[in-house]
Amino acid sequence: MGHCRTRRLAACVVLLAAVAAHGIAGTVSGYVEETATPGGTFAAAADWTAPSAAAAVVSKVAGGDPGYVRAGGSYHVYANVADQGNPAAGTASVNAGVGSLSTASSAAAATGSWTVGGLSYNWRSAALTAKAGLTDGSIGYSLTSTDSATPANARTQNFTTTADSTVPTGTAISSTNTPGGTVGRPEQGDTVVYTSSEPLEPISMLAGWSGAAIDVAATISDEPGTGDVLRVTTAAGEVPGTPVLLGRNDFVSKSRPITFGQTGTASTLTREGNVTTLVLGTPSATAATTGAAAQMRWSPSATVTDRAGNPMATTSVLEAANAVKEF
């Protein structure tokens, strides 16, 4: 019989037994080659699994509420991608397929760390520009993630965002009296409610604002030729899109404006859906109680945008009720 040039005698025995069972005559030599060092054998495990994006989102370059893009607007594609191999070779590249959104068909993303809408992302595309003729509604894009394995593994996943190029408008303005308060007198706990055709972008009103209740001050002053005007301010200045003409000139005197929330309990501003609500804080003085009804008028600002970045229409909004006591 032949000879076995290996330390794995058992493998040779199996080979020789198989030869004998099939009646093969002659000399058989079995060779089992191995690369080894005394005391151990080395093996490499391959990565056969492509990376995967657990989440992706489109967000306008200005930031704020994600998931919306307008025609001609600038945006990024964000992704949270991890290689799923075991062991993982690592993610080599991520490319966004944005042909439905932009004139460019794809855009490479780069690594980094971003928080958008309260979620963390580790890849982001360069700033992209949406098509001028983008149609409103749900619109798709894709992500292709490739790892560093040889051969490389790639995975393409599909996502959607919302295209919105419709200009937001103011639709209603109203005030309410705090429970147990005096009807017709502005006081702590009273509210002013601004309603728009769609949710407004909080950061277009206040830098860094998420829409959650934030401390502000509100001032009512009697302005020449206008009458009593309510304005909302912070340390950074007046909040755009918040001035309201109260339709009266007897809540305060011309020489004595009243500020709510500058000291004591702050006034607050909150955005929930289409509604932005101002709650008056501690007044600096007691306002007069009006005995007459009036209609408030809200003056929106083009500085304020919707979530896609469309500037708000500046058409003023008259209170729906013909005449009611404010506050």
pLDDT digits (tens, 9 = 90+) for 186-244: 999 999 999 999 999 999 999 999 999 999 999 999 999 999 999 999 999 999 999 99
Q: Cα separation of 229 and 288, whole Å? A: 14
* Radius of gyration of the CA atoms of the chain, in A: 34
Lowest-confidence segment of 5-14, 45-54, 111-120, 209-218 by average pLDDT = 5-14
Question: Please, what is the end-to-end C-alpha distance for the chain in angstroms?
Answer: 109
Between CA 40 and CA 59 the distance in angstroms is 53
Average pLDDT (130-142) is: 97
The pLDDT, as a whole number, for residue 11 is 36
Pairing mode of beta strands 317-318, 297-298: antiparallel
DSSP bridge pairs for 270: 277
Give the chain's domains with CATH numbers: 9-41 (no CATH), 52-163 (2.60.40), 170-318 (no CATH)
Q: How far apart are CA 246 and CA 326, in angstroms?
A: 8
Q: Name the band, by pLDDT with cuts 50, 70 and 90, for residue 181.
A: very high
DSSP one-letter string for 186-228 = --TT-EEEEEESS-B-GGGTSTT--SS-EEEEEEEEEETTTEE
What b/e readout covers 176-206, taking b as 16+ CB neighbours within 10 angstroms? ebeeebeebbbbbbbbbebbbbbbbbbbbbb
User: What does pTM read for this prediction?
Assistant: 0.82
Give pLDDT, residue 45: 55
Mean pLDDT of 175-181: 95
Q: What is the mean pLDDT of residues 92-107?
A: 97
